Structure 1
Amino acid sequence: MTETVHQLINAYYAAFNNGDTAAMLSLLTDDVKHDINQSGSETGKAAFAVFLEEMSRCYRERLTDIVVLADKSGTRAAAEYLVHGEYLEAGHGMPVAHGQKYVLPGGAFFSIRDGKIARVTNYYNLPDWLAQVSK
């Protein structure tokens, strides 16, 4: 069971690194819950697609050193990784973007249902990111 979950989460991050939004969305349940780092929550694939579009517009990111952990039941997982990014365009309320590069540790928690991701909760150190892009 945990091998299947590892494959699912690794496929999700491979799609992220390839910029393949359609592949990422195909791995989610229709009612996926997305908890955004130090922000609110959204529900559904449509909201997640909008989020990914905004991310692609504002950031170019690649994840490395990905480690996936899964529980024996196959219903929960976690991942830790390094984000290597470039800040392309300022989002609402964010500092001015001019191609600043950043490297930031991050993590995520997942709920799995019927072989798909039903919840994604992302965490990273926002003050660290702000310090890196404010230079």
Structure 2
Amino acid sequence: MLQLLLRLSPTTQLCKGEFRIEALKTFHGYWGYLSIVANAVAGVAALLAWRIERLRGRTVWALTIAAEVAILIQVLLGVILVASNKYEAPRFHMFYGFVIFITVGLLFQYRASMRGRLEMLYGFGGLFVMGLGIRAVLQVMK
């Protein structure tokens, strides 16, 4: 089953390190799509909560936190892959990962100054992170 997931034939011989990197690379690819969708859902939910007061509550913030944690895990996986020296990502792919990391930090930093419009901040921020994630995926597909 794992070989199917990793797109490896049964006869492929990989040492443990290479197998782990291939597994991590595959997981990084799938987790990226999940992170993009999670940020899209969280962004739309936050914008709806900003406009429709009865939608505000813990659910919006749980979605937002889950989406941001997912994208930060994605960035961490990318850093681990590049640090292994067995995988070289396109430069702009790494750039978009860095911008995503900075964006999540800036969203957290500006939350105190946006008290009345916190849902708007995280709504547009989530959609922005989604867009950056899509751009990062497109860099790998070239």
Same-fold call, TM > 0.5? no
TM-score, normalised to structure 2's length?
A: 0.28
- Highest RCO, 1 vs 2 (Cα 8 Å, sep ≥ 6): 2
Which structure has the highest helix share of the two? Answer: 2
TM-score, normalised to structure 1's length?
A: 0.29
